[in-house]
Structure 1
Amino acid sequence: MANSHSPFHPIIYVRGYAMTPGEIDQTSADPFCGFNLGSTVYRAVAEKTRQPRKFVFESPVIRLASEFDYQDVYEDGYDILDPEWAANPDNRLGSRSIIIYRYYDEASRLLGIGSTPSLEVFASKLGELILKVRELVCANPKNAITKTDFRCYLVAHSMGGLVCRGLLQNPKLDPGGAAKLVDKVFTYATPHNGIDLLGINPPSWLSLSDISNFNRQRLATFLDLEAAYKLTERVDWLPEARFPSKRFFCMVGTNRMDYEAGLGLSRTFAGHGSDGLVRIDNATLGGVDARNKPTAPCAKAFTYRAHSGYFGIVNSEEAYQNLTRFLFGDVRVDIWAEVDAISLPKELRKAASQGQSVNALYQFEVLAAPRGKLWYLSRRTAEEDSVACLAHQHWLKAPQENGKLYLGSLFLADRARVNSRRKGLAYTLTFNVRVPDYEVERKLWVNQHFEGSYLFRNSLMLEITPPGADSDWQVSYAWQNQGVHSADRKLDGNLQKDGSLEIEVPFDSASEPGISGRLRFLVARWNHQD
């Protein structure tokens, strides 16, 4: 029997790294380990000198409770792992429960022994917690869920995402088979490829404050990538045989300036292109098959938020919307830019024809906003170091293969429609390609260069209506520069065997220098089979 509560499964929250004994104690003293934090400030532009805008976000816990009827599991001062909690026969878990994995309690001087266990212990005990949650949910007759049909979600911040991956990817850490009960995983600002400070990955012997947890060689062993897949240089791989990449979401922060940890030293050491601690290019995952061949990138979205704090990624509207749409949404849209042609300035074409080496780095900006909202589901701009990039010489070597750029995934929800009279789910996708800094023989070419200008710049309005009992996919679009304010041009796509729809929208700068290609969207029902 299928789980009738789907897609509303129990959520297990796994918090991030705490460095000092004081931070560990503070974590243990917090019932929700940070998942209860909200904020009233929102930085709309990438300038710290500009005054923030007031925007009230109550916290993920409160919003999940108020919008989706989720409940915490604390009762009479205890949680589900305390014998006193289990002793009460009336304590049973509902399907919509939020469980906090309090793995730092043992390391706390307040509740534990003051000694921090290893990542392996954290991952193994996460599996034990999942099995405990299954026991309590399935014992509740109101749920009518069998142990076979039980599923849960893992939601993790920072190092918590590595703890989740340890359980999912390393069979030695999961003797009870808890990994197969995990339906989806959502990570905030997780260093999936470790941490680099001043461009250096912490050495494996640096055990102070467990910094070695972020060493790639250490992670390769912990994640079973070294023994099973011979992967050690990068560890941001998710074996499809262990967990499907399409069920994993990476939320990436891009605001390093508002991360205040270590009196600001962390953001200095992490450098540009980070959230103040985790570098952007270390915060995502890709699927890999048994032959070590990349399969598909995990879903990802970007937001101008710091690693933590009141400008942090966990307590943000943008991350929360991605979280709930990924867990409970109706439509998934994966987006690629495919570059067909690039034209250089006339002088540079002449230089290239004479055998000189000409290169450039093209930066692709993407901003996606649902209709009627004041925030972005994903925000990638040059000023925030979060753009997708394509080097000219790299593209020339294999245009068809290297010209394909994965831009991210959007999840749309019918419940979030602003206009109930319109069946479609709509959003605006701003797509820009910056004019690059051209180089000739590795020397900067500045003739006719105008800083901040664009090869292509436009916004696409896309409206998607999922298929019904007697209708097929309906997709319409309009470019903003065409003088229309709603999507009114119908798109015919290629229907895939799995029922998803592949559609393409061409773009062309129609200028010199210029760029042309197409935006490719793979649109699929989400949670439909559930």
Structure 2
Amino acid sequence: MDAPFFPIIYVRGYAMTAGERDETAADPFCGFNLGSTAYRATPDKKAPPKKFIFESPVLRLGSDHGYRDIYENGLDILDPDWAPPVAHDGTQEPGIGARSIVVYRYYDEGSRLHGTGEAESVEHYARGLSDLIARVRELVCARPANAVKPQDFRCYLVAHSMGGLVVRAFLQNPALGDKELRKSVDKVFTYGTPHNGIDTLGFNVPKWLGVNDINNFNRSRIADYLGVKDHPAHTRSGRVDLLPPATFPASRFFCMVGTNRSDYEVAMGLSRAFAGHGSDGLVRIENATVWGANAKGDAVEPAACAYAYRAHSGVYGIVNSEEGYQNLTRFLFGDVRVDIWLDIDAVTLPTPLQGEKNIQALYQIEFLASPRGKRWYLTRRVTEEDSPACRTHQELTDPAAKDRRSIYLSTVFLSNNARVNRERPSLAYAMTLNVRTPDYQQVKTFWPDQHYEGNHLFRDTAVIELVPPKVAGETWQFTATWQGQPEASAKADLSFKQLKQGKVQVLVPFENSKAPGIKGKVRLIVSGWNEG
């Protein structure tokens, strides 16, 4: 079936009003065809945006990977009068190709153009997604060139915003779709999905707020349509951003997280004001990811994620961005997966505070990864954009909080198709790590608290490079070298068998021995991705 180039089914996000549903119904690709020419390089809105032309996910999937849409003679595949396209030579093959982009047009029936003008429930949309996958499977299997049987059919689900909740409802709730169709979903990619609901002014939107279906983002309501209301993953914590066992593997799930609230102009800026800092203007950063859960309901495995300085939608939106597209295609079609963790061994206080007790400090961990020679980042976590990973001094020093010293940062996928220099065979990117704390505070009982200015505890860039073997099946060479501390580099030989069958752990040590200082390791978990 031309693996890994399976059909892509796009599920768009929330349309609040009848007018927005009409606009969606009038768009052949429901927003997946939108591009952009503007790039907000910094959080400073006063600085003019840089020119950066991104054509759109639909156009790039076509030009880069040979995908095409399924519309023919003004009809889509759900119309009973739809017929397969006629080729330039006059021949007509049954069905559709594996490299097809299918848009789930679930708002058509809720528009005044093609339907009643009334929106339906998430449960209804999830059942419709199941029906659409069944139709795509039927047509892909009908084309002899695909050489695939129904039980071997695979597809990708790509969703924006509420579309990701529709996808999860289909995957997680047994009552909302066919079991065999759920098994056919190979990977899921979400842009800016409120996996743990939407919070405004620090509170989850109420369940009783049914106007314009806003209560679809209430955590109790989400638990209803995900079918997890009585599962320990929800009952123990109230969270709904967990994938219980036997639903869908977190390792096949990717969350693209936006961090630019300032450019989200919906409701004349009220949305970003209510969402607050640490959001994309609608969805808070901590609500935009999912974790795999165990049978007890504990979060044990993060889904792959990346962060981009992009708004929820609009000119600077996350769907119509190079960052979103590159993460999407590398996740779907890439060759190597690298999960990036930070293990902190020790932190050193400023000299006047050493040996003192009751110290408070917040450590801000910034992380950026950029492909060799590119202007954009695969992932970007920066304090000024409210997206760093954070730990308190107590968490990094209390023996009872040992698990808090291992911090998941992001996942990067590398692809031979995305190499910058075709004459240079390696897959490479730059990894920048910055750990800083704004200040230190010593809490005193009878005297005023004392404050000490913080500092950058560590800041350096490492070049990560993987050299594929010249002969298929032989060993990959892996190197990671800090630019400021080349002696702290790491090297490893990764066999094809290791990458294919398991995960290889590479530790890249780092240290600032001065006071204040920090010591630890960047833990890179490398594994093969896709077939071949």
**What TM-score results when the alignment is normalised by the length of structure 1?**
0.94
1:302 aligns with 2:302: no
Q: Secondary structure at the match of 1:422?
A: coil
The match for 1:379 is 380
Which amino acid in structure 1 is aligned with residue 316 of structure 2? F
d(CA) in 2 for partners of 1:421 and 1:499?
30
Show the 5 A alignment for 1:2-13: 3=1, 5-13=2-10
1:525 aligns with 2:528: yes
Q: Secondary structure at the match of 1:436?
A: strand
Q: Secondary structure at the match of 1:231?
A: helix
The match for 2:67 is 70
d(CA) in 2 for partners of 1:191 and 1:445?
40
Shift in Å, 1:358: 1.3
d(CA) in 2 for partners of 1:469 and 1:319?
30
Show the 5 A alignment for 1:415-494: 415-441=417-443, 445-447=450-452, 449=453, 453-466=455-468, 469=472, 471-482=474-485, 490-491=491-492
The match for 1:263 is 268
The match for 1:45 is 42
1:286 aligns with 2:288: no
d(CA) in 2 for partners of 1:119 and 1:499?
37
The match for 1:108 is 111
Show the 5 A alignment for 1:365-404: 365-397=366-398, 398=400, 400-404=402-406
d(CA) in 1 for partners of 2:450 and 2:24?
52
d(CA) in 1 for partners of 2:252 and 2:449?
43
1:188 aligns with 2:191: yes
Bigger mean CA deviation after superposition, 250-259 or 293-302: 293-302
1:16 aligns with 2:19: no
Bigger mean CA deviation after superposition, 227-236 or 381-390: 227-236
d(CA) in 2 for partners of 1:120 and 1:283?
21
Q: Secondary structure at the match of 2:370?
A: strand
d(CA) in 2 for partners of 1:177 and 1:228?
23
Shift in Å, 1:289: 1.9
Shift in Å, 1:396: 2.5
1:132 to 124, 135, 140: 135
- Structure 1 residues 370, 267: closer, same or farther in 2, change over 3 A? same
Q: Secondary structure at the match of 2:149?
A: coil
d(CA) in 2 for partners of 1:445 and 1:235?
41
Deviation track 1:229-260 (CA, whole Å, cap 9, x = no partner) reads 35151110012311111000000000000000
Show the 5 A alignment for 1:24-63: 24-63=21-60
Deviation track 1:260-293 (CA, whole Å, cap 9, x = no partner) reads 0000000000000000000000000000122223
Q: Is the 8 A contact 2:255 2:304 kept in 1?
A: yes
The match for 1:349 is 354
2:318 to 313, 331, 348: 313
d(CA) in 2 for partners of 1:489 and 1:345?
29
1:222 aligns with 2:219: no
Q: Is the 8 A contact 2:346 2:397 kept in 1?
A: no
Deviation track 1:441-500 (CA, whole Å, cap 9, x = no partner) reads 2887433x15xx41100001110134654632311122112489xx98634689689343
d(CA) in 1 for partners of 2:485 and 2:350?
27
Shift in Å, 1:96: 0.3
Q: Is the 8 A contact 2:84 2:95 kept in 1?
A: no
- Structure 1 residues 327, 230: closer, same or farther in 2, change over 3 A? closer
Q: Secondary structure at the match of 1:27?
A: helix
Q: Secondary structure at the match of 2:101?
A: strand
The match for 2:243 is 238
Count of aligned positions: 517
Deviation track 1:75-96 (CA, whole Å, cap 9, x = no partner) reads 1111011111159985621100
Shift in Å, 1:177: 3.1
Q: Is the 8 A contact 1:238 1:288 kept in 2?
A: yes
d(CA) in 1 for partners of 2:73 and 2:84?
12
1:249 aligns with 2:247: no
Shift in Å, 1:528: 2.5
d(CA) in 1 for partners of 2:515 and 2:103?
56
- Structure 1 residues 165, 435: closer, same or farther in 2, change over 3 A? same
Deviation track 1:290-331 (CA, whole Å, cap 9, x = no partner) reads 222323100000000000001000000001000000000000
d(CA) in 2 for partners of 1:365 and 1:39?
27
Shift in Å, 1:135: 0.3
Deviation track 1:7-35 (CA, whole Å, cap 9, x = no partner) reads 00000000000001111110111000000
The match for 1:501 is 504
Q: Is the 8 A contact 1:241 1:289 kept in 2?
A: no
Q: Is the 8 A contact 1:92 1:137 kept in 2?
A: yes
Shift in Å, 1:505: 0.6
Deviation track 1:357-382 (CA, whole Å, cap 9, x = no partner) reads 21211010000001111110000000
Moved over 6 A (4+): none
Q: Is the 8 A contact 2:5 2:98 kept in 1?
A: yes
d(CA) in 2 for partners of 1:488 and 1:335?
16
Bigger mean CA deviation after superposition, 150-159 or 399-408: 399-408
Deviation track 1:86-137 (CA, whole Å, cap 9, x = no partner) reads 5998562110000000000111011001111100000111011001100011
Bigger mean CA deviation after superposition, 239-248 or 221-230: 221-230
5+ residue gaps, structure 2? 86-91
1:338 aligns with 2:339: no
1:197 aligns with 2:194: no
Q: Secondary structure at the match of 1:512?
A: coil
Show the 5 A alignment for 1:89-104: 92-104=95-107
Bigger mean CA deviation after superposition, 490-499 or 310-319: 490-499
d(CA) in 2 for partners of 1:76 and 1:493?
50
Q: Secondary structure at the match of 1:439?
A: strand
Bigger mean CA deviation after superposition, 170-179 or 123-132: 170-179
Bigger mean CA deviation after superposition, 238-247 or 460-469: 460-469
Identity %: 56
**What TM-score results when the alignment is normalised by the length of structure 2?**
0.93
Which amino acid in structure 2 is aligned with residue 216 of structure 1? R
Q: Is the 8 A contact 1:73 1:97 kept in 2?
A: yes
Deviation track 1:338-357 (CA, whole Å, cap 9, x = no partner) reads 000011113323431xxxx2
The match for 1:158 is 161
Bigger mean CA deviation after superposition, 221-230 or 376-385: 221-230
Bigger mean CA deviation after superposition, 39-48 or 290-299: 290-299
Which amino acid in structure 2 is aligned with residue 342 of structure 1? V
Which amino acid in structure 2 is aligned with residue 315 of structure 1? N
Q: Is the 8 A contact 2:191 2:256 kept in 1?
A: yes
CA RMSD between the two structures: 2.1
Q: Secondary structure at the match of 2:281?
A: coil
The match for 2:78 is 81
Q: Is the 8 A contact 1:492 1:503 kept in 2?
A: no
Q: Is the 8 A contact 1:493 1:501 kept in 2?
A: yes
